[in-house]
Amino acid sequence: MNTEPDRRRRPPTDGLPRTEPMSPMQVRQNAAAKRMLRRLVQGENPPTAPLSIVDRLVGSPYANPMIQVGGVDAAARKTIDFAVKLAESMFRYGAGALEVETSIIAITAAFGLKNIEVDITNQSVAINYAPKDQTPITVLRVVRSWTNNYAGLAQVHQLVTDIVAGGVGREEAVRRLEDITRSAKPFPRWMVTVAFGVFAAVFVGVLGGGLGASMVAFVSNLLVSLLARQLGRWRTPDFFITAACSFLVTIIALLLWRFGSPLGVQIAPAIVVVGGILLLLPTGRLVSSVQDAINGFPVTAAGRFLSTLLTFGAVVAGIAVGFVVGELTGSEPIDVTKTFPPAYDLWVVVILTAIAVIMIGITEQTDSKLLLPTAAVGVVGYLVLIACDALGLGSRFAPALAAVVIGLLARVVALRMGAPQLVVAVPASLILLPGLAIFRSMYVLTIEETEILIGAGGMLNAGAIVLGVAAGIVLGDTLARPLTRSLASNERRRARRR
């Protein structure tokens, strides 16, 4: 056999070192190294590839929805109508934009709709369905009213969870949503009014006020609640309702300071006013606006921030007018630098804090089964606040750190109880807000004209604390997401068993 042609084609290799063939392990390692190098150089996806809308569910309780197939495109309009009505209900009950968006994406994906786009602003929800080679469908819903109904928000959250689990069809989902929107709130109006007054009385005790100050705060806040209800019947704008309520609680405190209380004990007006204005502050709206800004909804956040600022302005305006009227009546100057030592032992203050949080939950119409867990979260946050103050962390950082703890615990507790984080976090965090700082700053701005810069600085400081508390709640919610993935999956497994 002639091998001469082979020698001409191949170069001589006698001088090269001999190499052993690679083992299967080395082949796999080589391939893995090539893949890693390719990822480092090229990336897994093209940089201009659009983000799938279902990827927005990552980190939410509705990740990986169970898709229900079979004739969904034929009834796409019904699914979209249901989704936009559910979104409107969530907005009315105080949900954030991210929660509304993820709920829409989750239920439309669960019912088999693709090619969905969602656009959310401060007052409207738009859903566009544009399947290939078909006529697109766009539905817009404007939200024109808001109400305190955290129980309804928790029920809507549970409905979305059941839909994502695949255990609820569209017809049943529509029926359940109708039942939620038509059902009565868990607490009657008279109980909400009493809870408003009890919160003020209890919180005054937490701040260091005695029994007399708590009684004055209780009565004045009953009057505030009745005034707000009457002005609401007259279709008065919310700005003027808040300003009128803030004025009423301020003037009552100043008149009692000027003429003396029926109890024969002179009560510092600052501590009474603080108990009255805390429930007037738009805590839930502020938390939602900060959450929307952080989560990438600038238009919605801007609208809610403006609404929040108007409410804060109404509170400040009411206090300022109260000071002016009080000065006309000959009210004596107030020592706004006065501090209030604890009036009760720590264990009593802890109990009062728990009662205050429960009262907030009643005013927000929270489900009764969530009241005690929310109170527990609020107590933990208050203890963290006390510990931070004892460590000397400062009046701005301590409430923010306590809010982070509240936000983290609120997500864990809320998902375990089948509710969104906001339902637990907002009532538990209200005790962190700087009511005394707002009162003192407004007094200096309104009465002591020579100290305007000090008053303005105090208002900026109070605003920084409020924003720190709101951002802390959102940060706590974000930190808790890796800890609550199993809770969301457990919720879906329970829904499947039902």
Q: pLDDT digit string (tens) for 295-320?
A: 788 888 888 888 888 888 888 888 88
| 17-21, 92-96, 397-401, 458-462: least confident range | 17-21
Which of the residue ranges 65-69, 197-201, 491-495 would you say has the lowest mean pLDDT?
A: 491-495
pLDDT band at 41 (very low <50, low <70, confident <90, very high): low
Quickly state the pLDDT bin for 71 (edges 50, 70, 90): very low
Query: Which of the two residues, 28 and 46, has the higher pLDDT score?
Result: 28
Residue 205: pLDDT over 80 = yes
Of 4-8, 62-66, 345-349, 419-423, which gets the smallest average pLDDT? 4-8
More confident residue, 487 or 34: 34
- 163: burial class by Cβ within 10 Å (0-12, 13-18, 19+)? buried
Question: By the 8 A CB rule, do 403 and 476 touch?
Answer: yes
Q: What is the pLDDT of residue 498?
A: 45
The mean pLDDT value for 276-290 works out to 75
Q: Can you give the pLDDT at residue 373?
A: 95
Nearest to 389 by CA among 349, 361, 360: 349
Q: What is the pLDDT of residues 451-489, one digit of tens each?
A: 677 777 777 887 788 888 888 998 998 898 887 776 654
What distance in Å separates the CA atoms of residue 264 and residue 271, rounded to the nearest whole number?
17
How many whole angstroms separate alpha carbon 292 and alpha carbon 123?
13
Angle at Cα 168 formed by Cα 167 and Cα 174, nearest 5°?
170
Question: Quick one: CA dihedral 164, 166, 167, 170, positive or negative?
Answer: positive
* Mean confidence (pLDDT) of the chain: 80
Q: Measure the CA–CA gap between 353 and 402, rounded to whole angstroms.
A: 14
Q: Specify whether the CB–CB gap between 252 and 272 falls below 8 A.
A: yes
Least confident residue range of 153-157, 252-256, 263-267, 379-383 = 263-267
% of residues, the chain, pLDDT over 90: 21
| Residue 199 pLDDT exceeds 60 | yes
Q: Quick one: three-class SS letters along 328-359? A: HCCCCCCCCCCCCCCCCCHHHHHHHHHHHHHH
Bridge partners (DSSP) of residue 118 are: 127
Mean pLDDT, to the nearest integer, of 211-227?
84
